[in-house]
Structure 1
Amino acid sequence: MRCKYSCQHRYNIHPQKSTLIKTERTKTNHQHHTISLGESPKQQEQQTTHLGIIRAAKYETKLNIQEHISVARRTLYTLIAVGLNGQEGLNPRTAYKIYQAYVIPRLLYGLEILPLNSTQMTELKQFHLKTLRCFQSLPIRTATAAVYMLLGALPIEAEMHKRQLSLLYSILASENTKLENLIERQMTVNAGNSDSFFSRIQEILKYYNLPTVSEFKDQLPSKMQKKKDINRTIANKWSTILQEEMKEKSTLKRCNTQMLKIHETHPVWKTLPPLTYEVKKANIKARPLTGTYLLQEHFQRFTGNT
């Protein structure tokens, strides 16, 4: 049938470059039939890659997460030569800009369409957090909120939300009739289905107090205005969340939380000259700010001596 359809619409399906994957999610007792592409029978495969996304019969999302983290890690390794290696390298502010431009796009490519669970998001979060901590040469015990706010960096969840909202805008701005029909169908049939993109996007819009999909479609802003509004809304939301989290941490009592915001770097990194020894000095300054510099009082507390 597929071969006949392609012939009618004047395009060819290459038999060697085509892969057959069984996507049936429920167990059935039906007899398996041989599927042919033209005169060539096709064997079922466990997985393949299409447009950079792994398509698999089982554990599709898990495989994509592992592959994307692996690609992002290899990208980081290739950037070590330009100084992306923590204490001996660049200003953390510059390192983060390079990370934003080269690593995050490869880490999150295509993941906005996949239904990620909490475990998979945790894997992405750990990689993201570990990288930002390495740029600033901060120890593992550093509060998570401080790692983000000193650089003005967004958590990986927020980076994912930006891409999902951008995809939503692209779909709504499209004049394709089939896409419009698909939106209406998905909004009606899969309203409570967590595997549906539109169900997840409704939760994201609600989380950031943004208009619903229907309201968004009726008053669609320009692309630049949309980008500006979404970035500002996400930054304000996470600035508030992380500031509140920092206030609850006793180790961050020396850090002025009111001056820390998303997209705004702390002066300890912002005023740093591009010199290696200055980076090392700034790393020491960042330790008292984050409550990770061991003082005499800490030694006394640990040893029990007065």
Structure 2
Amino acid sequence: MSLSFANEERYLLQPTKTVALNIKPSERTTIPKSECFKLGEINLNHVDTSVHLGITRTTSVCETAEVNVEGNISKARRALYSLLGAGLHGHNGLDHKSMLDLYKSFVLPVLTYGIEIFTPKSTLIKQLDLFQRKTIKQILSLPNNAADSCVLILTGLLPIEAI
């Protein structure tokens, strides 16, 4: 189907980016490597991981969620650090509303990117939620023992489970 569409639109599919990824439905299932997928006359390479639109896919559904949650947290941390020069830090920075707007606009979308596609387990959602709570407390210069519900009420943010 993709080859016929590419031919109709007169563009070439890149054989290095077009790969076959066998997804195992469970840990006990084994998939034979002898299966050969073709795209026209070209044999597709079998790979263990593949990235498409910023979402890393692996042969296991659980591993896909773990890899993407870890990646989202590190990317959100980098986005947060890049905004420090713009005044996104506690004391002597921007006012609280502006800092929260920056967080909501630039960091939160990176943190939650693709979650609806790979559906993480509750432990992974807790990791995302912990990152969000710690970040908000740091931005607002609140102590670590401040109640999470109070922080969410003050900021108007939803927990990651609700997003």
Task: Please classify the TM superposition score into its range, dividing by the shorter chain length.
Answer: 0.7 to 0.9
Query: 2:50: which partner in 1?
Result: 48
Distance verdict in 2 for CA 1:153–1:109, change over 3 Å:
same
TM-score norm. by structure 1 comes to: 0.47
Q: How big is the alpha-carbon RMSD for the aligned residues of Structure 1 and Structure 2?
A: 2.3
1:73 equivalent to 2:77? Answer yes
Structure 1 position 16 matched with structure 2 position 20? no
Q: Which has the larger radius of gyration?
A: 1
Query: In the alignment, what sits opposite 1:254?
Result: none
Whether the 8 Å CA contact 1:85–1:134 is kept in 2: the answer is: yes
String of CA shifts for 1:14-46, please: whole Å, max 9, x gaps.
212212211132424756233333343332111
Partner AA of 1:129 in structure 2:
R
What SS does the corresponding residue of 1:137 show, helix, strand or coil? coil
Other structure's SS at 1:49 match:
strand
CA contact 1:92–1:151 (8 Å) conserved in 2: no
| Higher helix content, 1 or 2 | 1
Amino acid at match of 1:74: R
> Matched residue of 1:88: which SS?
coil
Aligned 1:248-263 pairs, distance under 5 A = none
Structure 2: any 5+ residue segments left out of the alignment? none
Match status 1:25 vs 2:25: yes
Structure 1 equivalent of residue 151 of structure 2: 147
Number of residue pairs aligned between Structure 1 and Structure 2: 158
Q: CA deviation at 1:2?
A: 6.1
For 1:285-296, list aligned pairs within 5 A. Answer: none
Give, in angstroms, the shift of residue 109 of structure 1. Answer: 1.8
Aligned-partner Cα distance in 2 for 1:95–1:35: 50
1:86 to 79, 83, 90: 90
Contact 2:21 2:46 in 1 (8 A): yes
Q: Would you say 1:111 and 2:115 are equivalent positions?
A: yes
Query: How has the CA–CA distance of structure 1 residues 35 and 151 changed in structure 2, closer, same or farther, with 3 Å as cutoff?
Result: closer
The match for 2:39 is 37
Q: Work out the CA distance in 2 between the residues paired with 1:148 and 1:36.
A: 51
Deviations 1:234-288 (A, max 9, x none): xxxxxxxxxxxxxxxxxxxxxxxxxxxxxxxxxxxxxxxxxxxxxxxxxxxxxxx
TM-score (norm. length: structure 2): 0.84
Mean Cα deviation higher: 31-40 or 74-83 = 31-40
For the residue of structure 1 that corresponds to 2:91, the secondary structure is: helix
Q: CA deviation at 1:145?
A: 0.9
CA gap 1:126/1:38 in 2 versus in 1, 3 angstroms: same
Matched AA of 1:42: L
Partner amino acid for 2:17? K
Unaligned ranges ≥5, structure 1 = 161-306
